[in-house]
Amino acid sequence: MKEISNFFDSFSLNHSIYKNSQLYSNVINLQKNENIPSDINTIALINFSINNDREKFITSLIKLRSYLYSYSNIDKVQILDCGSFINSVNAKDSIDGLAYVLSDLITTGIVPIIISDDRSVILAIHKAYEHIKRYYNLAFILPFIDINNENLWEKSKDLLPWHDYIFRNNLLLNTATFIGYQSYLTDGDALQWVENNFFDLLRLGDIRENIKSAEPYIRNSDIICIDMNVMKKSEAPATMLALPNGLYAEELCQLSYYAGMSDKSSVFTFYNYNPDKDLEDQTMQLIAQALWYIAEGVSLRVKDYPFTPKTQMLKYTVIMDSPVNELIFYRSTRSDRWWIELPIKNTTHIQRHTLIPCLYEDYLAALQNKIPLIFWNAIKKKA
């Protein structure tokens, strides 16, 4: 960790104001070169901005920490506070430098969480996976699928053509899921693009009707990207777009909890936070609370599949009267979570993905001779 500390500004908080019962007691300051116990789940908190108003953004995130660290303590998790990433001369070098740091953290089993004011951070995450040559699944929690919404891009202050890097000729990307999008903000071309690439979609209405439906998709993702524009303005006014409709605060916290619990999720980012609009710290506090729920989820990880082989889970076979003769489900005795098996050949990197997450309700549907949608979508991707 000493080597990557050179990439970050030092900072300090008034530790005397915190109690042992608060989350601050679990914080390790990167600049102090403290030992990081390897037997406890660790998340790393990083600030990143390559915009002109970086200093104001960074100052707001120091205040965000004062909220986060005052919340209740969580057992079995520790926070490596890296502070603010020091920018290079140009944006490209800054992104490459962050990618190097992220690759180092990921390979050591530490889960980075990056807070940024724009989504160029996603490019850094992708490049980190290029460094370690690891395939990944990507989940976006966002208000629209915006491959053609150039005006909205401009309002979001995007600086780099990250979309080209992530979705064109990217051999590392297995699949992507778009969660919380609003239909009237997403044009038909974007939806057709999603369908052509066999990506997954969950509308805002799907989340509102049954938020649990998002859990299997999040559990199957290595990278979780949370666009703060997904929030309803009344819930989080300090976003780049401040839209009238969107997620409620408790929904963001629930999704963050799902993401934290996923043994597969290895990096998170919150982006498009705009401190200029955060006059009463409402959005800042919401991000802090979502971070707390990620930390709580991480503390409850039990190394389910793919870290535990399916031979150590309970197997359920459902005989079907349909084009699919049978469906095979697995249930973890550690977490009571469910997976469904795909009938695919064990070739190259696909071996890791022979089981995909599902819900108990999918198993119940199979008992009624109904093939779960999550199974059909996965089969189309592998065809």
**pLDDT category, 211, cuts 50, 70, 90?**
very high
CA distance 103 to 133: 10
Q: Residues 15, 24: contact at Cβ < 8 Å?
A: yes
Q: Where are the alpha helices (DSSP H) in 19-145?
A: 54-68, 91-107, 120-132
Question: Is the confidence at residue 190, as pLDDT, over 60?
Answer: yes
Question: Is the confidence at residue 306, as pLDDT, over 90?
Answer: no
**237 three-state secondary structure:** coil
**pLDDT category, 53, cuts 50, 70, 90?**
confident
Query: What is the spatial order of strands in the sheet that 326-331 belongs to?
Result: 314-319, 326-331, 338-341, 355-358
Question: Locate tokens 């962050």: which residue?
Answer: 98
Residues 6+ apart with CB under 8 A from 140: 176, 177, 178, 179, 225, 227
pLDDT in tens, 218-269: 999 999 999 999 999 999 999 999 999 999 999 999 999 999 999 999 999 9
**23 three-state secondary structure:** helix
Q: Residues 229, 243: contact at Cβ < 8 Å?
A: yes
Predicted local distance difference test score (pLDDT) of residue 153 = 41
Q: Write out the two tokens for 332.
A: 């973890």
Range with the largest mean pLDDT of 22-31, 53-62, 104-113, 165-174:
104-113
Which domains, ranges and CATH numbers included, belong to the chain?
4-299 (3.40.800.10), 310-382 (no CATH)
CA distance 267 to 105: 9
CA distances from 192 to 241, 315, 325 (A): 25, 36, 31
Beta strands 111-116; 41-48: pairing state = parallel
Q: Write out the two tokens for 192.
A: 């057709």
Predicted local distance difference test score (pLDDT) of residue 187 = 87
CA distances from 207 to 31, 245, 246 (A): 40, 13, 10
Predicted local distance difference test score (pLDDT) of residue 352 = 46
Predicted structure pTM score: 0.92
Question: Is the confidence at residue 124, as pLDDT, over 60?
Answer: yes
Predicted local distance difference test score (pLDDT) of residue 119 = 85
Q: Residues 217, 176: contact at Cβ < 8 Å?
A: no
CA distance 187 to 190: 6
Mean pLDDT of the chain: 90
CA distance 125 to 95: 9
